[in-house]
Amino acid sequence: MIFKLILFSILYISILIFISPMIDHFFDELDESKSNLLILSEIIIQMTCVSILWYYLHKFLKIILKKKFHITMEEPSENLMDFISAIVLAGLQKNLIHKLEYITYEHPFRIHF
């Protein structure tokens, strides 16, 4: 069980560390001269792309593990890999993180409170 988790973790994290910055570079860096609505739409589009990629990547890696390594994921392992891959994939989106930080401080409720 421990060996499987280590193998899953190494494989997932390695692939995500390689793919995540590539996704991030498809999107522009934060440009504060753009309207907040445009920045928010960029955030939504990037998060949607990341979510779709994460979904299909997860399915693909599950198939690879089963075919190449003859390992099937049990539910606890699958939940752990879901959690790890979501954090790694989202955490490596530098442009997205900067936009989220910016839009958080520009939020209309923050101005009033």
Q: Give the start-to-end residue ranges of the domains of the chain.
A: 2-25+34-107
- pLDDT tens per residue, range 3-13: 767 777 787 78
**Residues 9, 13: Cα–Cα separation, whole Å:** 6
**Residues 97, 52: Cα–Cα separation, whole Å:** 18
- Please report, in angstroms and rounded to a whole number, the separation of the first and last CA atoms in the chain: 50
Q: Are 96 and 27 in contact (CB under 8 A)?
A: yes
pLDDT band, residue 29 (cuts 50/70/90): very high
pLDDT at site 31: 92
**Residues 104, 113: Cα–Cα separation, whole Å:** 13
Structure tokens at 82: 């879901």
- pLDDT tens per residue, range 30-82: 998 998 889 889 999 999 998 898 888 888 888 887 888 777 777 777 777 77
